[in-house]
Amino acid sequence: MTRTSRRPGTTTASVVGVVAAGVPLAVLAVFFVLPVGGMLARGFVDDGTFDPGGVLQVLTRPRVHRVLAFTVLSAGSATVLAVLLGVPAAYVLSRLRFPGVRLLRAVVVVPFVLPTVVVGVAFRQLFAASGPLGGLGLDGTPVAIVLALVFFNIAVVVRTVGAQWDGLDPRREEAAAALGARPAQVWWTVTLPALRPAIVSAASVVFLFCATAFGVVLTLGGLRYATVETEIYLLTTTFLDLQAAAALSLLQILAVVALLLLAHRARATEVALARVDRPRRRPRPRDAWAFVVLGLVLALVVAPVATLVARSLRTADGWGFDHYRALAAGPTEGGSNALRVPVTTAVENSLRIAVDATVVAVVLGLLVVLVTTRPRPAGRRAARWARALDGIFMLPLGVSAVTLGFGFLVTLDRPPLDLRSSGMLVPIAQAMVALPLVVRVLSPVLGSIDDRQRQAAATLGAGPLRVLRDVDLALVWRPLLAAAGFAFAVSLGEFGATSFLSRADRPTLPVVIFQLISRPGVDNAAMATAAAVVLGALIVTVMALVELMPRRGRIA
């Protein structure tokens, strides 16, 4: 009865399907495969001859080994720490009921949307000799990098695991307890197995984000502590060693694809949950330890942000908005500051680009998801195609944004695709970065629609387009807004690809921040904090608006 259907008239449906899949595929081919491929090709072709040996040579360099080891170690420890802190926090935030829980839930998620450059600046301020935690001597150490990575990704764990926990039927745990299981046994035999898919999935995503993090590592690690991603950047921009950069890019792509496949298999074993709405319970004394962990998480989240804001407001003679004024004033005559445009211009650039990037990412993502989630009999060739398509659009997750940005530069610079001067170059690159996120947000929602809803609409007289509007789009409306918000935030904060592509006279806000911190001078550092606050506030505002958007279709 739950079988999906083979309907009459499938030929027209599949033509529409091919077109809907074709547009995003074409865009992906031109704006992702081509640049990345072009970039990789540059590494393999030396003086016009195919030379794969040179690439392998790169992998034997001691520095490359150090970079690889550091990438795996930092990402691994950040992942472990994020899970250890995130799971108890998820427990408190999704299982318990106490005043302020909603606020805490929002606070914990904020870091995820903050741009990497902002977080980098914040952690530098926190651990700087003059900062509140300067005494720990962590400035410029791997510990600072790992903590910054945890800061970012704790939200992923709390969100993913929390959502799963929210849907667990507590009666299953109660049943175990009634059969004589002690609380610890309940946890190990019932709760943890039920959460395991979510934990594995969250951990693999966190590891992926950590291993490909760019802005944070670049701002905190500089030349000394490089991950594969920042090394690609340094090799490309500083040493102009394209061969080595291509080798590392390739290695990264392979590693990420392997990881994504593993994560996919973990997801495939996920058991469907009977989602139940059960009231959250009040905290009990034995929940105290979980609150302690939540306290740590909150400290980790709040401290850097508070430091950042405080630093941006501290002036030579007390407190004030001097740095913000300096930002808005823009470049000074022969001045010491590194600004090339007033910050208002950069904000305007960022917003314009983000709007374009969001539209591109959401339209493409929606098309992809509509095609991949179309129900079809399992085991058919079409189903395999849909899964492959779904995987293909995850690829940008695993490809260094730096590779992508540089690839844009080297491949889209001659006819018929001379886009260097086109205003769409940056938005399209950012859209490619945001696309996987859009697909991931929309895919589960559209995939969970009971096909019989569509069939019911059809038997009531709704044609295919009308069904699309009244069932698919009506149900996906809110997640679509959330996806758009995410894409907008990603675009506003995107730095890896943008750093290559934004034109000197039209920088985005993250580019301005990076310019400020790369120049010496206390004023520049202080202005960077102010600019980071502006960017952070902008993104938090966007996300809050999305979050507060009234639920459409909710009826009294």
For another protein, the closer CB: 41 or 475: 475
For another protein, the closer CB: 275 or 286: 275
- Contact with another protein (CB under 8 A): which of 181, 329, 475, 544? 475
Q: Does residue 379 interact with another protein by CB under 8 A?
A: yes
How near is the Cβ of 466 to another protein at its closest, in Å? 7
Q: Does residue 103 interact with another protein by CB under 8 A?
A: no
Q: Which stretch binds another protein (CB under 8 A): 28-36, 120-128, 532-540, 547-555?
A: 547-555
For another protein, the closer CB: 57 or 453: 453
DSSP assignment string, 248-279: HHHHHHHHHHHHHHHHHHHHHTPPPP-----P
Distance CA 219, CA 513 (A): 10
Which of these, 359, 355, 366, 375, lies nearest to 479 by C-alpha position?
366
How near is the Cβ of 388 to another protein at its closest, in Å? 16
Q: Does residue 550 interact with another protein by CB under 8 A?
A: no
How near is the Cβ of 387 to another protein at its closest, in Å? 14
Cβ atoms 360, 427 nearer than 8 A: yes
| Residues paired with 46 in a beta bridge | 49
How near is the Cβ of 95 to another protein at its closest, in Å? 23
For another protein, the closer CB: 141 or 453: 453
State the greatest distance between any 2 C-alpha atoms of the chain, in Å, as a whole number.
78
3-state SS track over 495-507:
CCCHHHHCCCCCC
For another protein, the closer CB: 35 or 375: 375
- Contact with another protein (CB under 8 A): which of 458, 481, 544, 546? 458
| Residues paired with 413 in a beta bridge | 418
Quickly count: other Cβ atoms within 10 Å of residue 268's Cβ.
9
Q: Does residue 447 interact with another protein by CB under 8 A?
A: no
Q: Does residue 141 interact with another protein by CB under 8 A?
A: no
Distance CA 114, CA 112 (A): 6
- Contact with another protein (CB under 8 A): which of 381, 415, 416, 504? 381
Rounded (5°) CA angle 46-47-49: 65
Residue given tokens 């944004």 in the structure block: 401
Q: Does residue 274 interact with another protein by CB under 8 A?
A: no
For another protein, the closer CB: 336 or 448: 448
Q: Which stretch binds another protein (CB under 8 A): 247-255, 470-478, 479-487, 491-499?
A: 470-478
DSSP assignment string, 347-399: HHHHHHHHHHHHHHHHHHHHHHHHHHTS---TTSHHHHHHHHHHHHTTHHHHS
Q: Does residue 549 interact with another protein by CB under 8 A?
A: no
User: Which positions touch another protein (CB under 8 A)?
Assistant: 1, 3, 5-10, 377-381, 450, 452-453, 455-464, 466-467, 470-471, 474-475, 553-556
